[in-house]
Structure 1
Amino acid sequence: MAENADTSATASTTTVNGTSKNPLQPKNYEIAGTHPDSRILFRDVRILDSTGREPYPGDVLIKGERIVEVGTVSNIESLIRDPTVRVFNGRGRTLMPGLCDAHTHLSWNGGNLDALGELGVEEHTLLTMRAAQCYLDSGYTMCWGAASAKPRLDVVIRDAINAGDIYGPRCLANGQEIAKVDGELVPGITAYANTPEEIREVIRGHVKLGVDQIKLSISGESVTETRAATDCYFSAEDMEAAVDEAHKHGKRVCTHARARESVKLSILHGVDVIFHASYIDDEGMDLLEKAKDRVVVVPALNWLYATLYEAAAFGYPQAVAEKAGYKAELETAIKGLKEMHRRGITVLPGGDYGFAWTPHGTYARDLEHFVKLLGFTPMEAILAATAEGGKLFMREHELGKIQPGYYADCILVNGNPLEDIAILQDHSKLDVITINGRVHKSSPLEHYRPIPIAGEGDGRESVIVPELKFLTIERKMQVDL
């Protein structure tokens, strides 16, 4: 094993015309469909901007795709009276950035993953599209793909969202996870490669499909009952080939790495994102700390928690889960993750939603676990799910914050997530959701009407719902020739 190997291009940059460019920077995807002259005004909101600053009262103006003013908005009285401006009266509610899931499986079916390999591609595409919308309905505006059940599902859904054809979050797409024969977790949704050259060939195939990152499944999963989470299935030569080939094509690498050895292999050979890292040992922790400027850990805590405590209704009793090792793994993982947090290693929420006992739509449970199990403050958990999500997308200058110049991906929360982090799991409390400067969710009753109405005082807030006519881009299904 190359003990001092650091093949990650994440840590290095090239300079073009005086500007630093990371060779692993994903394509700068844009979402079509936002009218450039549309304007949205949030009045009287409590701004949680994800800079680390405590929330403060103010107003926020959005023009087109981006936030243009935060705190104090100029010419606000004229904006309020402009019928083309979409105005929301916050009444002190919390306006915060949209959330990021750092380990997303859009094509998981919320049940029997073994059946996914047999599911028709047409039905599977519709299922994946529905999951993408569920993420956005849940306040998630960024999803970092962790594996796709069929080769192109993530790619197709990403491209459809970006084209403005379907609703969903900003996505970075993955392909099928790559595993050794007899080392796979779910046979029907796996791309197999047994040798370093075969691994390179499969990665080249994934790149041709248009993926943004590469997933390696290099350790086991106890629920399979045949592949223990403490086992590692890749060698140093396998890892060296995989990371070299992926980085050569400008793609980051993520690993399913629960086993102690799998975590160390990931760090030593330049993997960019480590999923789980449950059984990391002292040596691995020291290696991870040295590499903390380039490596991110996404533990997918809710999978461990729910598998242990909430899977009985689906035929996996707690006694069976404990015997399989999930209680020991959860306890070991919590200890290791607390130490990572203490050492300043980046740990991000999200992951493994889409199983029977980790259903779609419950994604924000990870934030609560970060607070209750790992000792994060609510602010730290929110920063991990917003500003750090922007960094994971390598667009921290325009994603994950409520700041001028940032994309208008926002949620208006009816409550204070710093007092109750679990409120982000309650969809009924996510009163307004915007992405790319477009309103995805709101009620007509949210709109502020400034025109006085006879017999109703000064009319500053009317219960009469206005007729809403705002600037939008209409796309025709057919074009007349």
Structure 2
Amino acid sequence: MRQGAGGLVPLTLKAAGLVDVDAGELVRPGIVKVDGDRIVGIGGSPEGEVIDLGDAVLLPGLMDMEVNLLMGGRGENPGLSQVQDDPATRVLRAVGNARRTLRAGFTTVRNLGLFVKTGGYLLDVALAKAIDAGWIDGPRIVPAGHAITPTGGHLDPSMFAAFMPGVLELTVEEGIANGVDEIRKSVRYQIKHGAQLIKVCCSGGVMSLTGEAGAQHYSDEELRVIVDEAHRRGLRVAAHTHGADAVKHAVDCGIDCIEHGFLMDDEAIQMLVDNDRFLVTTRRLAQAMDVSKAPKVLQDKAAEMFPKAETSLRAAYEAGVKIAVGTDAPAIPHGKNADELVTLVEWGMPPAAVLRAATVVAADLINVGDRGRLAEGQVADIIAVPGNPLQDIAVTRDVTFVMKGGKVFRNEHANTN
């Protein structure tokens, strides 16, 4: 409890309204009472210290289920960063990326797989520790460590730049793993050093120079080893997967979450539903990703694939797939994460469903029950936007207040009593 003039009192956030994400309704007024890092009451009369947010509307902190805070950001040269940026440089740049993400209203993220030379260090784990310790500002991070991918797979960095043999080769510890034994070692290494989920490259991608975007990379036997190692340790597995057949094999092998899924067909979508698996969207990049400087073969691939992203998203939503928001930042810039929510609404998802995808569904995906709602007992991750997002989802682009764990990180409102 906070010490006030009349004794021990909670903090109250007062706003014009709040969103009940489960019901998909706006509740007026928006009264949320906070004690320490928890929400202790909803509604009633304000008590104790009051932060008056005026005409704003309160939301639970948003969640982005696919970012890479160690890539992108101010000052990076994407064409040369693989050979210019040492691990210390990447972490320091990630500090700015993390702060921008938090100030944009995203209080929890999954950092979904390093695929850079680090000497074996799990930079996302270190970043998460620094944020949790309060050394720097940023969202809660669920780190995956290094993405697991085969030699020449979509997340093999030497493939992205078409390096000659021997240039920037990654180790098994850094995620390049072939065959059952190497895969077991690589997964176990990530878990040992703090990964909270495992990321695997299950198919090609838009920016892959080697093969079709939908082609399955790992054999079923190899995929099952990854799932076995992760699930026995209580971790879920996320798979970069585009192709319909690759999605089907991933689901059949026990993968928990499909990232992207641009090329899914009806059968693959139904398998996600029947097996209670998740889909992480990343649809904004199909509109906003700049491939103008990419090789022509990649531009042609993007021109073929990106239009299919809208069709597959709409089909997945209509079929009842559990959809969670993910941006693949920096494929769209860090701090612009809410652009994904706008795209999902533009492509046919109702605003209420999109807000659930960025809150309660995302919380389910990371297997936590303490966030994603404005409700008593939840962690006090709370944001404010200048309007009703159930009517205009674009207001999520203009977050004016951010609280994480009961601590205010942004407040654009003048009236604080």
3-state SS of 1:124 partner: helix
Is 1:143 aligned with 2:109? yes
Residues 223 and 324 in structure 1, CA contact (< 8 A), matched pair in contact too? no
3-state SS of 2:20 partner: coil
What does residue 163 of structure 2 align with? none
What does residue 357 of structure 2 align with? 384
User: Partners in 2 of 1:404 and 1:38 — Cα distance?
Assistant: 16
Residues 178 and 216 in structure 1, CA contact (< 8 A), matched pair in contact too? yes
What does residue 216 of structure 2 align with? 232
Q: CA deviation at 1:290?
A: 0.9
What does residue 42 of structure 1 align with? 13
User: Partners in 2 of 1:400 and 1:128 — Cα distance?
Assistant: 25
Q: CA deviation at 1:116?
A: 3.5
What does residue 436 of structure 1 align with? 405
Instruction: Provide TM-score, normalisation by structure 2.
Output: 0.87
What does residue 342 of structure 1 align with? 318
User: Partners in 2 of 1:238 and 1:118 — Cα distance?
Assistant: 33
Amino acid at match of 1:57: R
What does residue 288 of structure 2 align with? 306
User: Partners in 2 of 1:141 and 1:301 — Cα distance?
Assistant: 20
User: Partners in 2 of 1:248 and 1:44 — Cα distance?
Assistant: 45
User: Partners in 2 of 1:155 and 1:346 — Cα distance?
Assistant: 27
Is 1:361 aligned with 2:335? yes
User: Partners in 1 of 2:15 and 2:228 — Cα distance?
Assistant: 51
User: Partners in 2 of 1:369 and 1:183 — Cα distance?
Assistant: 29
Deviations 1:242-290 (A, max 9, x none): 1111112222111111122221121001111110112222332232221
3-state SS of 1:347 partner: strand
Query: In structure 2, do the counterparts of structure 1 residues 419 and 118 end up closer, same or farther at CA, with 3 Å as the change threshold?
Result: same
User: Partners in 2 of 1:337 and 1:385 — Cα distance?
Assistant: 15
3-state SS of 2:130 partner: helix
Residues 325 and 362 in structure 2, CA contact (< 8 A), matched pair in contact too? no
What does residue 167 of structure 1 align with? 137
Query: In structure 2, do the counterparts of structure 1 residues 38 and 208 end up closer, same or farther at CA, with 3 Å as the change threshold?
Result: farther
Query: In structure 2, do the counterparts of structure 1 residues 114 and 215 end up closer, same or farther at CA, with 3 Å as the change threshold?
Result: farther
Matches within 5 A, 1:114-133: 115-116=81-82, 118-133=84-99
Residues 128 and 153 in structure 1, CA contact (< 8 A), matched pair in contact too? no
Moved more, 111-120 or 329-338: 111-120
Unpaired stretches in structure 2, ≥5 consecutive residues: 159-167
What does residue 397 of structure 2 align with? 425
RMSD of aligned alpha carbons:
2.3
Is 1:212 aligned with 2:183? no
User: Partners in 2 of 1:118 and 1:178 — Cα distance?
Assistant: 23
Query: In structure 2, do the counterparts of structure 1 residues 378 and 446 end up closer, same or farther at CA, with 3 Å as the change threshold?
Result: same
Percent identity, aligned pairs only, is 27
Residues 142 and 389 in structure 1, CA contact (< 8 A), matched pair in contact too? no
User: Partners in 1 of 2:197 and 2:286 — Cα distance?
Assistant: 24
Q: CA deviation at 1:53?
A: 4.0
User: Partners in 1 of 2:352 and 2:266 — Cα distance?
Assistant: 28
What does residue 296 of structure 1 align with? 278
Is 1:89 aligned with 2:42? no
What does residue 40 of structure 2 align with? 68
Query: In structure 2, do the counterparts of structure 1 residues 198 and 264 end up closer, same or farther at CA, with 3 Å as the change threshold?
Result: same
Q: CA deviation at 1:338?
A: 1.3
Of 59, 72, 81 in structure 2, the residue corresponding to residue 109 of structure 1 is: 72
Compare CA radii of gyration and give the structure with the larger one. 1
Report the number of matched residues. Answer: 391
Q: CA deviation at 1:224?
A: 3.4
3-state SS of 2:204 partner: strand
3-state SS of 2:107 partner: strand
Q: CA deviation at 1:154?
A: 0.9
Is 1:403 aligned with 2:385? no
Deviations 1:417-436 (A, max 9, x none): 2222122123xxx2211000
